[in-house]
Structure 1
Amino acid sequence: MKKVFLIMLMAPFLLLAACGTGNGETANSGSNDEKIKVATTIAQIGDIAQNIGGEHVEVTSLMGPGTDPHLYKAVQSDIKTLSNADIIFYNGLHLEGQMNEIFEKMRSEKPTYAVAENIPEEKLAADPTNPEIFDPHVWFDIKLWEYAVEEVKNGLVELDPDNKEDYEQNFKEYKQKLDDLQAYAKEKVNEIPKESRVLVTAHDAFHYFGEAYGFEVMGLQGLSTESEYGLNDVKRLVDTLVDRNIKAVFIESSVSERSINAVVEGAKERGHNVEIGGELYSDAMGPADTEEGTYIGMFRHNINTIVDSLK
């Protein structure tokens, strides 16, 4: 009877403790011994969160190397990760089109940010086939990506104001690294003659890159890999390669090589040899714990690969 009485006496306190630690924002905001659980979709955003959050965050990205976010559908473990997170960051602009309903639900439960939708609309590129949709691949223009970095910083500051000073300092240092990367990219691209700055890839993910660095960009598929390509699309690209004597095309780490190989074979049948200039990271970064597994490392890899093939 004494044990029963003690349990009944402690029940309200146990329940109160459980409620206090079950809410991520309450448990983690301002706490020195618990990290904020951050969930992101693509690893590019996860890299931002880690750089800005530093020692205060534990970051989980749902989409790893080689993953196509256009086609990605959340599995049960993803739902658990999102549910357990204190804050969620995703790209938006229909990049993760299969997950829109999930984000709507999460937004009613916890801070959920579409970081690319923080970019002023006039700076975004519209889909040529649908003017109401914007190109979501904003990370290929470093200056646009800085808007996403700022949105992550603002989200963390709002959730955890006690560590605002750290987040602001990390933001300042990371932005300087991005500015240095921008300077490197522009200098490197100058090694390619202007008439050779033609970038041919599997899908049209590099429009912002082309605008930033003076490339004409051609993709076999549209902005999303959900769009189908047909024989006419292959023929159109083959005609361009032959007529303009373009010697290299590029595959992407998150897109099957089959489509671009069809273009290479088509050009070969016309007596024009085209090489695979290398593999670019488009919708996904490289493996974790590698240089290409960071945003800066991925961007440098792409710049170096393109320049080495086209200069």
Structure 2
Amino acid sequence: MIRRSFIATLAFVATLPMMAWADAPLKVVATTGMIADAARQVGGDQVEVTGLMGPGVDPHAYRQTRTDIVAMTRADLVLWHGLYLEAQMEGFFNDLGRKQTVVAVAQGIDPSKLQAHDDYADKYDPHVWMNPELWRDVVTGVQAALTETRPEAADIFAANAAAHLADIDRLNAYAAASLRSVPEQSRVLVTAHDAFGYFGESFGFEVLGIQGISTQSEAGLNRIGELVDLLVDRDITAVFVESSVSDRSMRALIEGAAAKGHEVTVGGELFSDAMGEPGTYEGTYLGMLDHNITVIAGALGGDVPGRGMDGKLSAGF
């Protein structure tokens, strides 16, 4: 009896590490804040997410740090965007993918939905999060990656993804209504770089960036001169700075217009390649887009609630 009890105890103890492992959250590392948010929304308490790129960080120029490498090599799942967004890290991810589970969650989007890259003939504009309908595909890709990594939690991931996708659909409806209220002649969005192409395509705005799709392309004097003339000729009075891009070129644009007797003001700061501060509403995908939609529509003469879709924006327009 004693021996049987002892053997049973040993058998129970032997299962403890496996049980603890099964109950432990998946260690997920994501490059951008937008992907990290999607992983948290879909994964819920099944995941522990580390985001590499915080507020104000430019993913086009980002290179992995030693701390990043340690985190990724210890992760159960690494999620990156793809579409040449993390241009400086592509070689690293290709190497890491031979040893770890590494998924480029935007690569699965149907190419027919994507816009051509202005600098690389064989690549696409990676800023798909600017169109909520396209971002749905990325969220679905995150769900698939989590499910493959932990299939026993498939029902949890599916329910969480459905709830998040419903919120994204509601955001898309808010965007359409708010941006439709901007007078047609005012639907021109002038920003630091071409991060808003999908936004413009989806909501009927002409988008003009000083730099190209990548922030690594330099804004030349000729380009600034062309935009100054355009601001004057079309009587555009508001431009927008970006949280993750220097405002130096934008200031040159405003000063150039002023030299021609045309006053241009900053309509607000937009989140382009990075979200807001962690722990804030703007530090989520929904909050990031809600902020952009509300600021753009308000600055260009549209009718929007001062604190956004659900009154959650930290600063009213």
**TM-score normalised by the chain length of structure 1:** 0.90
User: Cα 1:268–1:212, aligned 2, differ >3 Å: closer, same or farther?
Assistant: same
Q: Which residue of structure 1 aligns with residue 39 of structure 2?
A: 49
Query: Segments of 4+ in structure 1 off by > 4 A?
Result: none
Q: Which residue of structure 2 aligns with residue 183 of structure 1?
A: 173
Alignment identity in percent? Answer: 47
Q: Secondary structure at the match of 1:276?
A: strand
Equivalence map 1:59-98=2 (5 Å): 59-98=49-88
Give yes or no for contact 2:180–2:203 (8 Å, CA) kept in 1.
Answer: no
Q: Which residue of structure 2 aligns with residue 207 of structure 1?
A: 197
Structure 1 CA distance for aligned equivalents of residues 56 and 183 of structure 2? 31
Displacement of 1:269 after TM fit?
0.3
AA partner of residue 152 (structure 1): V
Q: 1:239 aligns with which of 208, 229, 251?
A: 229
Structure 1 CA distance for aligned equivalents of residues 20 and 128 of structure 2? 34
AA partner of residue 296 (structure 2): I
Structure 1 CA distance for aligned equivalents of residues 200 and 29 of structure 2? 30
AA partner of residue 253 (structure 2): V
User: Cα 1:105–1:129, aligned 2, differ >3 Å: closer, same or farther?
Assistant: closer
Aligned residues: 287
Displacement of 1:36 after TM fit?
0.2
Q: Which residue of structure 2 aligns with residue 160 of structure 1?
A: 150
Q: Which residue of structure 1 aligns with residue 207 of structure 2?
A: 217
AA partner of residue 93 (structure 1): L
Matching of residue 113 in structure 1 with residue 116 in structure 2 = no
Structure 1 CA distance for aligned equivalents of residues 242 and 254 of structure 2? 15
User: Cα 1:215–1:27, aligned 2, differ >3 Å: closer, same or farther?
Assistant: farther
Q: Secondary structure at the match of 1:224?
A: coil
AA partner of residue 74 (structure 1): Q
Q: Which residue of structure 1 aligns with residue 293 of structure 2?
A: 303
Alpha-carbon displacement from aligned partner over 1:218-262 (angstroms, at most 9, x marks no partner): 000000000011110110110110010000000000000111110
Q: Secondary structure at the match of 1:175?
A: helix
Q: Secondary structure at the match of 1:219?
A: strand
Q: Secondary structure at the match of 2:103?
A: strand
Q: Which residue of structure 1 aligns with residue 48 of structure 2?
A: 58
Displacement of 1:102 after TM fit?
1.2
Displacement of 1:133 after TM fit?
1.6
AA partner of residue 273 (structure 1): E
Structure 2 CA distance for aligned equivalents of residues 103 and 280 of structure 1? 29
Q: 2:114 aligns with which of 124, 131, 145?
A: 124
Q: Which residue of structure 2 aligns with residue 13 of structure 1?
A: none
- Listed as ranges, the gaps of 5+ residues in structure 2 are 1-13, 302-317
Displacement of 1:27 after TM fit?
7.9
Displacement of 1:111 after TM fit?
1.6
Alpha-carbon displacement from aligned partner over 1:113-157 (angstroms, at most 9, x marks no partner): 111111001110002343312000000011111110001000111
Structure 1 CA distance for aligned equivalents of residues 132 and 162 of structure 2? 15
Q: Which residue of structure 2 aligns with residue 102 of structure 1?
A: 92
Q: 1:195 aligns with which of 170, 180, 185?
A: 185
